[in-house]
């Protein structure tokens, strides 16, 4: 085991759970994952890697932490997988704690390093295996494990009971009618065109975002619905833990909800990981080559609505704007062009980032890192230095990003680095700037009438 | 030791049975490694169902052309050294006049051969590049962090035939007979090492690139270069 300098972080999910490990359990788990679950890719990648270090500059942690060698992608593989392979799983609990720290908190599985490796070695695949091992051993950041537990108990990320969900939708609908005449949030509509699958936070303390989506879909005249029953929440934190069984269960619930409602498509919320979980990790775990139903990320859905004239833009934003490309939908889906089209249609002064599109840096919050709570916040703020410097260099006042993790992370970094910027979702931009026909606008009641 | 290395019996062994053994191990071992990888990969559904010829070729193309990928452009000097090294490493032994003469004597086949001056320059280029690689391994912190003795060992395996060949041809420093024996021996060691060490990236480069190229291009609608 190699020792590197790290500030200690007190996370009971890692510290306390590691105390319960036994050498036998560690060895059995590591060998199970590395020999039974990992496929030929692991062996090929490990044997092909020539240790050239050319992946280093791909990693935002490496760049943000002043080129500290231990943050380079290959260094992370060295400190985790090579260590496990060399010792054939005979490692102590201290090593497992280090593996967990590296795989969960020093890698966003953003796959930028795979683009920079001359051999195309999928380094994220290997770090995901480390997460799987730590997940099976239960050595996981506590906040993240808590959310995975929530998926198991309530089928949502945020411990939200099913009746709370229906209640929330009803009050959002009520409030929406103050803006849009006879606005509807149709639940359980059989045969609708689109099922919207929100982020659980949109039903908890970010209800304005669900309201925004409902606003846009009402004005655009989309035939849509949401399930009133479990399976409505698009998030999947179990994927980040490495708990593939729960991840598969969550995705199966989404697919089954869509099948029950006989919808044609599912639109996820403006979220990167839920799209990745549905389209890649979850579908593959369940044995599907592609998801059994068309999955759309709002970037694509809104792009099509604007392109087809179903959403018309009334006025453009005048302030300088830039974008953050969420890894899950740009590097891993190629939606960067559509994101830029929407921004160009809705904003006057768009200043693109450098590097851009699939080469853009991760926000340092992806793959669950945003969810680790206060213990890890400082690590995340420092790890995002290269990201925030890149955004600052554009001179923009607004950062547009269709991803909850990117949004929250950049918002916090703006505060941490004391910048004069703000972050917006595409839906927020549209609600503020789309054309609403007069007949759809609710009559504003006077104070006396209210 | 010196007597043994320069003895006619050892020389006969080197240019006779050991040539055959090393060639058979190199070709047979390489075929075994590639075929066994392909057959195992075929059974891995998350790999095999997504493979795409078009995007495999797109990816390989962007990584065998100098400066065709972003990361190569980010490291122009290293890219130049790496390409020079690999080109000279493969071209020099195949186009060397002396090698071609030997093949012609044995099997009446020969490839186009380069003038000896150019072969000399290419040999020195390989040696120079290996020195750069060694220095980079020692000096650059992120490379040093993942450097082991085995990394120097494979550089030594690759450099040895070129150094000994150069010294033998020019009859510098050491006895010609000794150097020729070491040259043949080190060449055979390199051939045997290719399938079974990390030099196997010569075989697997194409396959790992094809996998990642397909995954990025055909599945994720994105570029990997």
pLDDT band at A445 (very low <50, low <70, confident <90, very high): low
- Give the mean model confidence (pLDDT) for residues A279-295: 94
What is the number of CB-based contacts under 8 A between chain A and chain B?
A: 121
Instruction: Answer whether B179's CB lies under 8 Å from B164's CB.
Output: yes
Q: Which of A75, A122, A330 sits opposite B145 (nearest CB)?
A: A75
Give yes or no for a cis peptide into A260 (omega within 30° of 0): no
- Give the mean model confidence (pLDDT) for residues A254-276: 95
Q: Which of B37, B221, B225 sits opposite A40 (nearest CB)?
A: B37
pLDDT band at A17 (very low <50, low <70, confident <90, very high): very high
B83 to chain A: which residues are within 8 Å by CB?
none
DSSP A368-432: TGGGG-GGGHHHHHHHTHHHHHHHHHHT-SEEE-S-HHHHHHHHHHHHHTT-S-EEE-HHHHHHH
Contact residues for A93 (Cβ-Cβ < 8 A; gap 6+): A18, A19, A21, A26
Judged by CB atoms closer than 8 Å, whether chains meet at A334 and B220 is answered as yes
User: Which pTM does this prediction carry?
Assistant: 0.94
Q: How do residues A55-87 score in pLDDT, each as one tens digit?
A: 999 999 999 999 999 999 999 999 999 999 999
* B207 interfacial to chain A (CB closer than 8 Å): yes
- Give the pLDDT of residue A2: 65
Instruction: Search chain A and give the residue with CA nearest B200.
Output: A48
Judged by CB atoms closer than 8 Å, whether chains meet at B221 and A122 is answered as no
Cα end-to-end span (Å), chain A: 68
| Average pLDDT of every residue of chain B | 92
Judged by CB atoms closer than 8 Å, whether chains meet at A333 and B146 is answered as no
- Give the pLDDT of residue A450: 54
Q: How do residues A397-436 score in pLDDT, each as one tens digit?
A: 999 999 999 999 999 999 999 999 999 999 999 999 999 9
* B71 interfacial to chain A (CB closer than 8 Å): yes
| Percent over 70 (pLDDT), chain B | 100
- Give the pLDDT of residue B176: 85
Min Cα distance B67 → chain A (Å) is: 12
| C-alpha distance from residue B66 to each of A191, A345, A447, B125 (Å) | 53, 38, 71, 17
Task: Give dist(CA B90, CA B22) in Å, integer.
Answer: 17
Domains of chain A, start order:
12-140 (1.10.1060), 154-296 (no CATH), 313-433 (3.40.50)
| Average pLDDT of every residue of chain A | 94
Q: Is the pLDDT of residue A182 over 70?
A: yes
Judged by CB atoms closer than 8 Å, whether chains meet at B205 and A48 is answered as yes
| Percent over 70 (pLDDT), chain A | 98
* DSSP H or E run through A253: helix A244-261
pLDDT band at B98 (very low <50, low <70, confident <90, very high): confident
ipTM of the prediction: 0.93
Q: Which of B47, B142, B224 sits opposite A120 (nearest CB)?
A: B224
Q: Is the pLDDT of residue B1 over 80?
A: no
Q: What is the dihedral of CA A19, A24, A30, A32, to 10 degrees?
A: -140
Instruction: Answer whether A235's CB lies under 8 Å from A273's CB.
Output: yes
Instruction: Search chain B and give the residue with CA nearest A46.
Output: B198
Burial of A396 (0-12, 13-18, 19+ CB in 10 A): buried
Tokens of A364: 């340092």
- Give the mean model confidence (pLDDT) for residues A141-153: 95
b/e map of B167-187 (b: 16 or more CB within 10 Å)?
bbbeeeeeeebbbbbbbbbbb
Q: How do residues A105-125 score in pLDDT, each as one tens digit?
A: 999 999 999 999 999 999 999
- Give the mean model confidence (pLDDT) for residues A222-250: 95
Q: How do residues A361-408 score in pLDDT, each as one tens digit?
A: 999 999 999 999 999 999 899 999 999 999 999 999 999 999 999 999
């Amino acid at each position: 085991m190699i020792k590197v300098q790290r500030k200690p972080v007190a996370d009971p999910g890692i510290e306390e759970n590691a105390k319960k490990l036994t050498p036998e359990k560690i060895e059995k788990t590591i060998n199970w994952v590395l020999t039974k679950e990992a496929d030929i890719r692991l062996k090929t990648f490990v044997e092909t890697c020539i240790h050239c270090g050319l992946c280093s500059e791909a990693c935002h942690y490496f760049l943000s932490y002043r080129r500290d060698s231990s943050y380079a992608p290959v260094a992370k593989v060295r400190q985790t997988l090579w260590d496990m392979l060399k010792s054939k799983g005979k490692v102590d609990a201290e090593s497992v704690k280090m593996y967990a720290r590296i795989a969960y908190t020093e890698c966003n599985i953003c796959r930028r390093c795979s683009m920079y490796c001359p051999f195309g070695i999928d380094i994220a695949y290997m770090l995901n295996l480390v997460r799987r091992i730590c997940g099976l051993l239960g050595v996981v950041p506590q906040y993240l494990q808590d959310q995975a537990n929530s998926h198991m108990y309530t089928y949502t990320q945020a411990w939200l009971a099913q009746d709370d969900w229906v209640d929330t939708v009803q009050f959002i609908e009520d409030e929406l009618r103050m803006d849009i005449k006879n606005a509807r949030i149709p639940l359980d509509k059989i045969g609708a065109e689109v099922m919207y699958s929100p982020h659980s936070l949109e039903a908890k303390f970010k209800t304005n975002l669900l309201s925004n989506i409902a606003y846009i879909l009402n004005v655009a005249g989309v035939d849509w619905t949401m399930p009133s029953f479990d399976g409505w929440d698009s998030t999947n934190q179990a994927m980040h833990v490495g708990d593939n069984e729960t991840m598969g269960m969550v995705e199966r619930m989404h697919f089954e909800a869509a099948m029950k409602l006989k919808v044609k498509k599912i639109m996820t919320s403006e979220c990167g990981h839920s799209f990745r979980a549905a389209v890649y990790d979850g579908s593959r775990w369940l044995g599907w080559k592609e998801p059994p139903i068309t999955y759309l990320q709002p970037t694509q859905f809104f792009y099509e609505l604007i392109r087809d004239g179903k959403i018309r833009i009334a006025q453009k934003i005048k302030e300088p704007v830039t974008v953050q490309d969420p890894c899950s939908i740009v590097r891993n889906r190629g939606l960067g062009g559509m994101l830029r089209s929407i921004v160009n249609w809705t904003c006057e002064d768009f200043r693109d980032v450098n590097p851009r599109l699939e080469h853009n840096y991760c926000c340092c919050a992806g793959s669950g890192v945003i969810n680790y709570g206060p213990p890890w916040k400082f690590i995340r703020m420092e790890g995002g230095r290269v990201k925030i410097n890149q955004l600052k260099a554009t001179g923009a006042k607004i950062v547009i990003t269709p991803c909850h993790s990117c949004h929250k992370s950049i918002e916090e970094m703006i505060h941490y680095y004391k910048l004069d910027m703000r972050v917006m979702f595409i839906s927020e931009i549209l609600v503020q700037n789309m054309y609403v026909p007069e007949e759809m606008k609710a009559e504003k009641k006077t104070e006396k009438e209210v | 030791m010196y007597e043994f290395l320069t003895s006619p019996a050892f020389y006969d062994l080197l240019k006779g049975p050991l040539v055959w053994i090393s060639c058979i191990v190199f070709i047979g071992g390489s075929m075994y490694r590639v075929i066994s990888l392909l057959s195992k990969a075929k059974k891995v559904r998350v790999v095999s169902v997504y493979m795409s010829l078009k995007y495999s070729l797109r990816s390989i193309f962007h990584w065998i052309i100098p400066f065709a990928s972003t990361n190569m452009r980010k490291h122009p000097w290293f890219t130049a050294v790496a390409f020079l090294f690999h080109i000279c490493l493969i071209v020099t032994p195949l186009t060397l006049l002396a090698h071609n003469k030997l093949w012609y004597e044995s099997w009446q086949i020969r490839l186009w051969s380069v003038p000896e001056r150019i072969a000399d320059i290419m040999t020195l280029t390989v040696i120079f590049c290996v020195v750069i690689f060694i220095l980079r391994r020692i000096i650059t912190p992120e490379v040093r962090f993942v450097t082991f003795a085995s990394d120097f060992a494979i550089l030594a395996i690759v450099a040895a035939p070129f150094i000994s060949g150069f010294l033998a041809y020019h009859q510098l420093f050491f006895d010609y007979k000794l150097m020729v024996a070491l040259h043949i021996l080190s060449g055979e060691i390199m051939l045997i090492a290719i399938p079974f060490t990390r030099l196997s990236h010569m075989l697997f480069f194409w396959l790992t690139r094809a996998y990642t190229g397909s995954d990025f291009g055909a599945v994720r609608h994105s570029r990997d270069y």
